[in-house]
Chains A and B, each alone.
Chain A
């Protein structure tokens, strides 16, 4: 009975064992990048390697593990001579570890563990892929770069033997323009959702349509004067935050984020209170310049959160900065005309300007407390 069971099981095994599928030739290249280091595995069909290298030493059509092991050096050398990876214009070294085997739908594959080191921390990998280019023109390398739910993929080989694949989400579309636009959007979006920056700007804009004379607000005689004042203020802010943003993104300066965030909140408090009780001496643009330096470090923090490493490409930095400017301009375009129209009214001078500024100062003080003491107040 036992023998019968074994026989039956073996028959079923034979019957059920699926024939490996017919499919075009592919290799599967999975890479992960950590700092300057590359780790990965490369699955290459043994059938294809046999066509190129003649692995089946005794020619019996049955490829044994011994026959594969004997040619390990040749397999690794053949494969690695047809794959090169570069980052930042410099080639990365690449070595293969001891091979294993795995099964895919069309049969058995050798698995080459890969290890590599690049000269710089890669933002993108430039991959030149020529495996089996001379024996099978329809062969492709299916690249999977990165782990988790959202890896980059690419189909390597064929008419496009050299491809550049970005590593980060922001650069997903590959070329510089798409990256620029992506960062531009990030910058503008950050201004839109960055309430501290918005309130700081509004604090600076509210009094721009008025001028303080003898301890009281007077109307600015011409729109041109108000616009010039705003232009000076906004430009000073932009120049200042661009400088610190660049310094932080390039890794020259890296102040602790808690201090930076607290200082930004403090800058909002001071700018708002200054509208009620003038405490900052000198013109408003000078204040914008000084506080702008602080806000630049804040933007750098956002940029780092987006996954942009230190020493980032100039193009993404520029895109982000321009996005911030566009966001600011949108706020100016919304606030300034309204303030100009309302500037003569009692409501604006006696209620909106002082009360609005005080309200802004109050919110910013709460932020300051939260950030300086690292606590979260409910409901704010």
Chain B
């Protein structure tokens, strides 16, 4: 009985988040807390003041915009990107915009998955300033995401004379991750990390996460587990890392470890999705239902806005949590046209297999063969598909 009441109360607590029952209300008391605002530290306040004091000077505006972009990355909250763009508005659309503004513009475009536009911006930067290491690195990243391996390797080559060795190795490892050179990339990266002394924590997190993922793709569970935990000690709240580790746990049949890992991160759609996948794997249907409803509401909200940034997550949601293979396949195909990372390839294979659509599978199977892509899970899926 006690438990029943508790469950009912817990379910009631979900109601405000569900769109179907939302209705405007007038709070009864003035003391009622309506919203909890994100805490903003004093550093941000000072940067804002500096930018406001010199509205014609791009330097304080750039400092503030970079801070917003960093906040956006750290929290996975896209509102900060919009605020960064607003700060740079006076220089944003100008043909003579400084390269620093263009670089942030490329970063924000990449964030909205406007990869072609971002590439054009970066090519303009490296054309006028070929020694801009960050521009080459961002360009290589976008080329890797889009599956342009030779282009990405060429960009990493330009980076090699401008950046530290570890960055170059990481750039090359990312470019070669989906090819037959994966094992070599991993060894190079491991060596680079051993030899590197002081590296920026972001670079360290990036490299450790990549090493963990590469080990998992080879099927070396022990190495992957150890590297994930090392990375998590460096960056316990990095949302990409959390997602990658949660995926590893789900693949290893360790779904029970996922909810604790992601407990504080349900704001992030991609991490809430992993949480829900874990609940499903554990058969906890009463907890799964509200999480599924919440995810559906978020995808609906993104659709109203016309956003296509979460197509990969939406395809996973549609396939594994709604069980609609045809719809999931359509989403996965749309997503794969834009980005071709391992997770994009994998969800397309899974959706194609689930809907028994051999024709839809052919292009991705050809692509996997041509690239020489290595991954224990993908290999199993390819065997089922051929």
Contact = CB atoms under 8 A, between A and B. Distances in A.
Interface of A: 1, 4-5, 8-9, 12-13, 15-26, 41, 46-48, 50-51, 56, 61-66, 68-69, 98, 100-108, 111, 132-140, 142, 153, 155
Q: 9 tightest A-B contacts by CB?
A: A138-B82, A66-B30, A137-B85, A136-B82, A100-B24, A12-B10, A65-B27, A108-B35, A111-B24
B37 A61 contact: yes
Interface stretch (B14-22, B211-219, B331-339): B14-22
Interface residues of B, number: 63
A308 to B, nearest CB: 30
Contact of A102 (B24, B85, B112, B265): B24
Contacts of A69: 30
A103 to B, nearest CB: 4
Nearest to A25: B79
The SS class assigned to the A binding surface is mixed
Given A13-B9, A20-B267, A21-B267, A63 B36 contact: yes
B78 interface: yes
B19 to A, nearest CB: 7
A315 B2 CA distance: 69
A139 B86 CA distance: 10
Given A8-B2, A41-B24, A24 B305 contact: yes
B306 interface: yes
A324 to B, nearest CB: 38
24 contacts: A5-B1, A5-B5, A5-B6, A15-B10, A17-B13, A18-B266, A20-B267, A22-B268, A23-B79, A24-B79, A26-B304, A46-B34, A47-B37, A61-B36, A61-B39, A63-B34, A64-B33, A105-B301, A108-B34, A135-B86, A136-B85, A137-B83, A138-B82, A140-B305
Nearest to B37: A61
Given A18-B290, A26-B301, A136-B79, A103 B266 contact: no
Contact of A65 (B16, B29, B38, B302): B29
B86 A101 contact: no
Given A8-B6, A16-B290, A102-B23, 11 more contacts: A8-B2, A12-B6, A16-B287, A46-B34, A100-B24, A101-B24, A101-B34, A106-B301, A107-B35, A132-B86, A155-B306
Contacts, number: 174
A24 B307 contact: yes
Interface string B28-60: 011111111111000000000000000000000
Contacts of B294: 18, 21, 105
A98 B27 CA distance: 12
B36 A62 contact: yes
B169 interface: no
A21 B266 CA distance: 7
B23 to A, nearest CB: 7
Given A5-B5, A61-B37, A104-B301, A19 B266 contact: yes
B57 to A, nearest CB: 18
B26 interface: yes
A26 B303 CA distance: 12
B360 interface: no
B233 interface: no
A266 B288 CA distance: 69
Contacts of A111: 24
Interface in B129-173: none
A160 to B, nearest CB: 12
Given A16-B13, A136-B79, A138-B85, A101 B27 contact: yes
B31 A139 contact: no
A150 to B, nearest CB: 16
Given A5-B6, A24-B305, A135 B83 contact: yes
A14 to B, nearest CB: 9
B327 to A, nearest CB: 21
Contacts of A56: 37
A56 B35 CA distance: 10
B77 interface: yes
A91 B82 CA distance: 30
Nearest to B3: A8
Contacts of B307: 24
